[in-house]
Structure 1
Amino acid sequence: MNKLIIDACPLCGSTHLRPFLTCRDFYASGEPFELFRCDDCSFTFTRGFPVEAEIGKYYETPDYISHSDTKKGAMNFIYHLVRRYMLAKKARLVSREAHLRVGKILDIGTGTGYFANAMQMRGWEVEAIEKNAAARAFAQEHFALKVKSEDALSTFGAGTFDVITLWHVMEHLEHLNETWERFSELLTEKGVLIIAVPNCASYDAERYGEHWAAYDVPRHLWHFTPATMQQWGAKNGFILAARHPMPFDAFYVSMLSEKYLGNSFSFIRGMIAGTVAWFNTQAKKERSSSMIYVFRKKKE
């Protein structure tokens, strides 16, 4: 297997890197992967992840929920209930932050198409991109969405979109710097970039350490905090306009983390841990399990 060994921080370019954690792929292969952290900017990443052409097998499981749409098991059932609520909340967030009732939106990593469909139903002109062929087929069959493959990102013209969204997608993208540069090109001058990612500075990340489910190696290549997300935006000509916690994520992530620890009653223990995490983030929103970041382009 060909692995990408990173010797310089993708965010700041520093070579002052140190091992941070060794995590296991609990989802598919059982293999260990190392996380490294930059001493200069604190950006954390998976070092030695499979290259883009070979990482596909780590997604090839019927239980990978963003691709399979499975409802089997209590955790997946809850995931779908929460998603239904969050779809409406995300749609309202997009309109509020873009100051538009309708517009043109690009959803990158659309999965099985639920969010893209929600925006389409609200009158938005939607373009959607998804790497996984089975997920694209699901979106076509269930929502009549013509989801494009990842190659389509290079085909859109400059200033095409009012909004670009990535819901738990940024952590999967190998070509991180190039993708950020493309965001700036594709958005209108008043365009909005909305990114949701797990927060490795969260309460539950500290609680579970190497068993924290949202490290999800090797599928998650990059591990963000509020501070490093702001740095990524600034590096690429964006201003961080708003941050929003995703409190429900702590419940799902905690349940999976308890399962990875091999604990009995992982569902109940995860619910308890998720509740503690929720209370923890009421005082410190930056400790939320996942965060939504809203970026605007810097004015020339």
Structure 2
Amino acid sequence: MLFDFVRVLITLLMVALAAGGVFWVTQQQQAHPWTRDGQVLANVVHVAPQVSGPVVAVHVADNQRVARGDPLFEIDPTLFQQAVQQAEADLAQASAEATDAAADANRAQTLHARGDLSQQDFDLKTAQSEAKAAAVDAAKVALETARLKLSYTKVSAASTGYVTNLELDAGTYATAGESVLALIDADSFWVAGYFKETDLPYIAIGDPAAVTLMGHPDRPLAGRVESIAFGVARRNTGTNLGDLAKVAPTFEWIRLAQRIPVRIALASPPADLPLRVGYTASVAINPSRTAERR
């Protein structure tokens, strides 16, 4: 009898300890939301030429750091130089024709004033002069366009960053608008922490955060909550417009909380700790009472 009582007492004590542990963990998670599901991210500039042509020179190497304005690669400028020369010749011809037409219009005005030229012929000469002047304006625009396209044959870095996964080489035909090179913006690194939706009520914009990289566990980084995503991709939907919904089977008694990205802005990471897109990170939030809840 005493043995049964002790056994029941021990069982109740273990249940109470387990419940207390669950309660403590829940309170800690609410007081300091935490996730191991984090990742270092950055803006990636997909560099695409604005004109098409064969690449004749590549001025960077894979994983090289470049500054804003540094040359990346060049496209064969031959055809574009010829287009500039043709546009210059067209402008010179249009200017000469406009000068002649203006002189004819001036003579026609003198003759018309003396009554030696009809109104119809005078109007014709005036219209021809105006048309030639408009042709000069069009030729100037064509020349500027040709020069602009020629300048596009030299592609430079739009921001300071790192060239990565470089496969471009001389001889490759580059098509306008198609990315041929990736540049990671060096000043845009942030951390995305994927928190359960049940954690979001305890996270606010401006809350301080501690980020620990898997590769550098002894060097935590300071940050703050910059924003919280307002949506993630739907899983139970068709791939294309008009497709039927694809509903995955689930167990009614198991409901997994959706993970929502929380953007963490880093506060001056150490210069000797290089950040790389894709690094795995743990993120802990220290909720602030004065911060705005989202």
Same fold (TM over 0.5): no
Please give the TM-score of this superposition, normalised by the length of structure 1: 0.22
Structure that is richer in strand per residue: 2
Please give the TM-score of this superposition, normalised by the length of structure 2: 0.22
Structure that is richer in helix per residue: 1
